[in-house]
Amino acid sequence: MRSETDPGALRGPSPLRLLLVNIPFYHAGCAEAPLGLAYVASVLERERIPFDLLDANALGMEMPEIVARVRERRPAAVGATVMTSMLAAGRRLADAVKALPSPPIVVFGGPHATIAPGETIERGGADICVRGEGEETVLDLMARLTEGPAGWRGVAGISFRDGGEVVHTADRPLIRDLDSIPFPARRLLPMERYQTIHTGRKRFATIMTSRGCPGKCMFCYRPFGRDLRYRSLDNVMAEVRELVERFRVEEISILDDAFTLDRERVIAFCERVLASGLQFEWRLGNGTRVDLIDEDLLRLMKRAGCYEVAFGIESGDDEVLRKIGKEITVAQVERAFAAAKRVGMETIGFFMIGHPFDTVGTMRKTIDFAVRLDPTYAQFTMSTPLPGTALWTWVKKHGRSLIGDDVTKLDFLGTKPHYETDAFTREDAERMYRLAYRRFYLRPRYVWRSLRRIRSWNDILVILKGLVYLRKVAPEGGGDGR
Which stretches within 63-134 are classed as H helix?
Answer: 63-73, 87-98, 111-115, 117-122
Least distance to ligand SF4 from the beta carbon of 222, Å? Answer: 6
Among 24, 34, 90, 375, binds ligand B12 (CB under 6 A): 34
Considering CB distances under 5 to 8 angstroms, the limit depending on partner class, which of ligand B12, ligand SF4, none binds residue 215?
ligand SF4
Specify which residues 78 forms β-bridges with. 19, 106
Indicate the residue among 93 and 386 with the shorter CB distance to ligand B12: 386
Considering CB distances under 5 to 8 angstroms, the limit depending on partner class, which of ligand B12, ligand SF4, none binds residue 217?
ligand SF4
133 touching ligand B12, by CB under 6 A: yes
Biggest CA-to-CA distance, the chain: 68
Q: Do the Cβ atoms of 482 and 436 come closer than 8 Å?
A: no
Indicate the residue among 79 and 399 with the shorter CB distance to ligand B12: 79
Question: Segment contacting ligand B12 (CB under 6 A): 94-102, 126-134, 146-154, 352-360?
Answer: 126-134
Least distance to ligand SF4 from the beta carbon of 391, Å? Answer: 11
Indicate the residue among 57 and 381 with the shorter CB distance to ligand SF4: 381
Specify which residues 310 forms β-bridges with. 348
Question: For residue 350, which amino acid is it?
Answer: F
Q: Do the Cβ atoms of 214 and 258 come closer than 8 Å?
A: yes
Considering CB distances under 5 to 8 angstroms, the limit depending on partner class, which of ligand B12, ligand SF4, none binds residue 136?
none
290-310 exposure pattern, b = at least 16 Cβ within 10 A, e = fewer: bbbbebebbbbbbebbbbbbb
Which stretches within 74-178 are classed as H helix?
Answer: 87-98, 111-115, 117-122, 135-144, 149-152
26 touching ligand B12, by CB under 6 A: yes
User: Helix, strand, or coil here: 263?
Assistant: helix
The torsion defined by the Cα of 37, 42, 43 and 45, in degrees rounded to 10, comes to 120
Q: Is the torsion defined by CA of 132, 137, 138, 142 positive or negative?
A: negative
81 touching ligand B12, by CB under 6 A: yes
213 touching ligand SF4, by CB under 6 A: yes
Q: What is the DSSP letter of 244?
A: I
Indicate the residue among 172 and 289 with the shorter CB distance to ligand SF4: 289
Among 5, 85, 159, 366, binds ligand B12 (CB under 6 A): 85
Question: For residue 150, which amino acid is it?
Answer: A
215 touching ligand SF4, by CB under 6 A: yes
117 touching ligand B12, by CB under 6 A: no
Strand 229-230 relative to strand 210-211: parallel, antiparallel, unpaired? antiparallel
Indicate the residue among 123 and 335 with the shorter CB distance to ligand B12: 123
Question: 119 to each of 46, 111, 115, how far by Cα in Å?
Answer: 32, 12, 9
Indicate the residue among 41 and 290 with the shorter CB distance to ligand SF4: 290
Rounded Cα–Cα distance for residues 157 and 140 (Å): 10
Task: Compute how many other C-beta atoms are within 10 angstroms of the C-beta atom of residue 252.
Answer: 24
Strand 400-401 relative to strand 419-420: parallel, antiparallel, unpaired? antiparallel
Least distance to ligand B12 from the beta carbon of 291, Å? Answer: 18
Indicate the residue among 138 and 301 with the shorter CB distance to ligand B12: 138
83 touching ligand B12, by CB under 6 A: yes
Among 35, 167, 197, 390, binds ligand B12 (CB under 6 A): 35
386 touching ligand B12, by CB under 6 A: yes
Indicate the residue among 289 and 416 with the shorter CB distance to ligand SF4: 289
Q: What are the DSSP calls for 284-303, one per residue?
A: EEEEE-GGG--HHHHHHHHH
110 touching ligand B12, by CB under 6 A: yes
Q: What is the DSSP letter of 110?
A: S
24 touching ligand SF4, by CB under 6 A: no
Rounded Cα–Cα distance for residues 43 and 56 (Å): 21
Residue 174's contacts (CB-CB under 8 Å, 6 or more residues apart) are 132, 133, 211, 212, 224, 225, 227, 229
Among 90, 125, 312, 349, binds ligand SF4 (CB under 6 A): 312
Of 250-289, which residues contact ligand SF4 (CB under 6 A)?
A: 257-258, 289
Question: Segment contacting ligand SF4 (CB under 6 A): 96-104, 216-224, 387-395, 469-477?
Answer: 216-224
User: Mask: binding to ligand B12, 192-231, rule CB under 6 A, as x and -?
Assistant: ----------------x-----------xx-x--------
In which region does residue 229 sit, left (phi positive, over 0), alpha (psi from -120 to 50) or beta (all else)?
beta
> Residue count at the site for ligand B12 (CB under 6 A)?
42
287 touching ligand B12, by CB under 6 A: no
Sites of contact with ligand B12 (CB under 6 A): 20, 22, 25-26, 32, 34-37, 39-40, 79-81, 83-86, 107, 109-112, 115, 130, 133-135, 138, 208, 220-221, 223, 255, 257, 286, 381, 386, 388, 412-414
List interacting residues with ligand SF4 (CB under 6 A): 213, 215, 217, 220, 222, 257-258, 289, 312
